[in-house]
Structure 1
Amino acid sequence: MNATVVYELAGSYFGGTSSRPVPAKLVVADDRLRVIAGDDLLAGPLPLAEIVVSSRLGNTPRMLRFADGASFETAGNATVDRLLAGQGRRHGLVHRLESSLRYVLVGLLVTIAFVWGGVRYGIPALAEATAFALPEAASRQIGEGVLELLDDDLLFPSELTAEEQARLRQRFVPMIAASGLPIRLEFRKAARELGANAFALPSGTVVFTDQLVKLAEHDEELLGVLAHEIGHIDRRHGLRQVLQSSALGLLTMTVTGDVSSVSSLIAAIPAILTQLGYSRDFEYEADDFAAELMANHRIDAAQLGTMLMRLEDALRKCPEVERCADPERGWTTYLSTHPPTTERLQRLTKR
């Protein structure tokens, strides 16, 4: 006569009407299950065949669920496996997959490819579709107040004469009118951190710094810069950048957890570099838009290239050592939000 095999498991019992765990012991004998806490019988006897057992995943606790909604949680995975084997019940698909090194490696490669594809192509495509689906008022709201913030720190009243500002505004009118966009021009003297520069805000405001105006030798060079900035506004790059940054930030927090920790910051570096890549894509797109707009006004796209070279030369001659580093060499090029000037010149030359 065979002796009865008795299995015992320590764990926590959850009644069907309460989420409060009760320390208990699960006893299985003759394929019937009981849950005991001291001298109290909490559940059973129940046929083991009617119990739903969660699939094993590493060493995480298992849940044994009863028909009345109650459940028993235990970390005794080895004992649970023997119980299931005695009834001919196999492990779930998840456990079989994670127990195979080959499947784990394949899963890791698929996950990496999926995440990379989503970050590199999925997020930009989704941001672009969303940006153009939103009304223009959304871009204006994002841009509102930005110029005021810049005026408090990095920008100052322009020192260009009123006559020079009026002349440039009049010179820019045909190109602005042809764009069909509500462009507003502003002239400012920039702090040293900005220097010779121009930028477009999502609201449709284009800012030229005094240093950039003085750097140009011909109006056509400034028209090339204006066409480039109009491209940023037309393609809603500001709104798309906000959407992409938000999506990447959410993804980074989901994957790395606490972004305030050092390890999380290190893990976030690839996402930061990817975001800089998005900026370079926007610059190329704005350059292509500018070349077409300039051609419509019979202006050679090389004028924009000439202005870019002037900016490049000004950067190399700047007094701060860290800003005078050759932007065409080493890792500084990759960390730049703008593409290398030589690459942009090649594209403009082809156009």
Structure 2
Amino acid sequence: MRVSGVAYPPRLSQRCSADIDISGEQIKLCCDHQMVSQTSLEQLTLSDSVGNLPVRVSFPDGWVFVPDQNKDIDCLLQKKGRKSLRIRKVESNLWLIFVSIVFCIAMLFAGYRYGIPWFSHYAARMLPDGVPVFVGEKILDQLDEQFETSHIPVQQQQAIRKRVALFQQQLPPMPFPVQIEFRGSDIANAFALPGGKIVLLDPLVELAQSDQQLDGVILHEMGHIYHRHMMTRLVESSLTAVVVASLTGDTSGVVHQMIGAGVFVMNTGLSRDMERQADQFAKQAMLKIYHTSEPMAAMFELLQQQQMRHTPDWLSSHPNFSERIESMRQP
């Protein structure tokens, strides 16, 4: 089999019309009808075929042959284990490239939207108990830079803790013992941390007009603990951060990622689905303990009145108060 093209002598830029004769395992190079080089297929070197760029065939003595068309040396490419003409056509097919890009984007989106949350849900339950406790303590240490010492009377704090201890005896077993922490702040809020801690801010305690109203909020946070929402979100955020860090080459410890993600989540809130799930846990607990969920609806109304400005529903991680109030009052 003969293939036409051009050849370049060793260490020279001049070229000549040439052809190679492929006979079994022997390759002969002829330049201007004179044989200038000969070698075996094993000693022959072929450059990678990229797009429509010509393939360069290099001989051991320095001669280089470039065929007129890459398809003419397709048999050499296949013998040397390189990409065949068919594969090169597939790689240069713009439609297939477009479909591949769309497929990759769809897979990335599906992994982020469904794969990571699914994995995080189960991973949060597989972690040793010491990890959530440690992470929760470290998150609280960082958040304490924003908070002040609580001014709630010690007797009132003790009474709240006693009620929570009784709740734990009446409700499904918690993955961690619930501990109530009090902190001073200028906002009415409460949040659960990994490891079982619930932080109540003074304005929230002072806003509640009855023990039942405050208990509704506490039970809501216990719902987050029961479903391990915080740890699930932290694993999800940390996993995403680790993947991005790995791609950029900036890797660090997963536990440190969790602590940083925990502070972020505390400032941005959990997902709406998690908030609704915690609301339902609290509602069922209120019905079991107090035989009514009306105090929770009343507390939501008080919190709604406390909002200094309206936040659009699509910007809030919580379901809007109207939806939550209606949910509490449904039979």
Query: Contact (CA 8 Å) 1:8, 1:28: kept in 2 or not?
Result: no
Structure-1 residue corresponding to 2:184: 189
* 1:112 maps onto 2:105 in alignment: yes
SS in 1 for 2:225: helix
Structure-2 residue corresponding to 1:84: 73
Query: Contact (CA 8 Å) 1:139, 1:238: kept in 2 or not?
Result: no
* 1:297 maps onto 2:259 in alignment: no
Query: Contact (CA 8 Å) 1:188, 1:209: kept in 2 or not?
Result: yes
Distance 1:64 1:149, change over 3 A: farther
One-letter amino acid of the counterpart of residue 122, structure 1: G
User: Which range is displaced more, 79-88 or 104-113?
Assistant: 79-88
Match of 1:139 among 129, 132, 140: 132
**TM, length-normalised to structure 1:** 0.66
Structure-1 residue corresponding to 2:115: 122
Match of 1:171 among 152, 163, 170: 163
Distance 1:147 1:3, change over 3 A: closer
Query: Contact (CA 8 Å) 1:55, 1:91: kept in 2 or not?
Result: no
SS in 1 for 2:271: helix
Query: Contact (CA 8 Å) 2:190, 2:204: kept in 1 or not?
Result: yes
Distance 1:221 1:98, change over 3 A: farther
Q: Distance in 1 between matches of 2:136 and 2:243?
A: 25
Q: Which runs of 5+ in 1 are unaligned?
A: 11-26, 35-42, 260-271, 317-323
Distance 1:82 1:177, change over 3 A: same
Q: CA deviation at 1:185?
A: 1.0
One-letter amino acid of the counterpart of residue 149, structure 1: Q
Q: Distance in 2 between matches of 1:277 and 1:103?
A: 42
Q: Distance in 1 between matches of 2:322 and 2:224?
A: 20
Q: Distance in 2 between matches of 1:244 and 1:105?
A: 30
Q: Distance in 2 between matches of 1:308 and 1:77?
A: 78
What per-residue deviation string (whole Å, max 9, x for no partner) do you get for residues 311-350 of structure 1?
A: 222123xxxxxxx2x11x3xxx433332333333344444
**TM, length-normalised to structure 2:** 0.70
* 1:233 maps onto 2:213 in alignment: no
One-letter amino acid of the counterpart of residue 311, structure 1: L
Query: Contact (CA 8 Å) 2:190, 2:217: kept in 1 or not?
Result: yes
Q: Distance in 2 between matches of 1:138 and 1:132?
A: 11
Q: Distance in 1 between matches of 2:283 and 2:49?
A: 60
SS in 2 for 1:187: strand
Q: Distance in 2 between matches of 1:59 and 1:300?
A: 75
Structure-2 residue corresponding to 1:162: 154
Query: Contact (CA 8 Å) 1:186, 1:208: kept in 2 or not?
Result: yes
Q: Distance in 2 between matches of 1:350 and 1:33?
A: 89
What per-residue deviation string (whole Å, max 9, x for no partner) do you get for residues 99-140 of structure 1?
A: 333323332332232222211111111011111122222211
Q: CA deviation at 1:3?
A: 9.3
Q: CA deviation at 1:283?
A: 1.5
One-letter amino acid of the counterpart of residue 118, structure 2: A
Q: Distance in 1 between matches of 2:270 and 2:28?
A: 59
Distance 1:7 1:315, change over 3 A: farther
What per-residue deviation string (whole Å, max 9, x for no partner) do you get for residues 11-31 of structure 1?
A: xxxxxxxxxxxxxxxx98334
Distance 1:6 1:197, change over 3 A: same
Match of 1:29 among 20, 28, 31: 20
Match of 1:340 among 301, 320, 323: 320
What per-residue deviation string (whole Å, max 9, x for no partner) do you get for residues 183-222 of structure 1?
A: 11112211x3xx1111111121111111001111121111
Q: Percent identity?
A: 28
Distance 1:277 1:139, change over 3 A: closer
Structure-2 residue corresponding to 1:245: 237
Q: Distance in 2 between matches of 1:218 and 1:64?
A: 87
Structure-2 residue corresponding to 1:40: none
Distance 1:186 1:49, change over 3 A: same
Q: Which runs of 5+ in 2 are unaligned?
A: 11-17, 30-36, 79-83, 251-263
What per-residue deviation string (whole Å, max 9, x for no partner) do you get for residues 43-80 of structure 1?
A: 98232898677564x589989999xxx9xxx9x99978
Q: Distance in 2 between matches of 1:78 and 1:291?
A: 78
One-letter amino acid of the counterpart of residue 340, structure 1: N
The CA RMSD over aligned residues, in Å, is: 4.3
Distance 1:3 1:314, change over 3 A: closer
Q: Distance in 1 between matches of 2:200 and 2:66?
A: 68
One-letter amino acid of the counterpart of residue 81, structure 1: N
Distance 1:47 1:235, change over 3 A: same
Q: Distance in 2 between matches of 1:221 and 1:157?
A: 23
Larger radius of gyration: 2
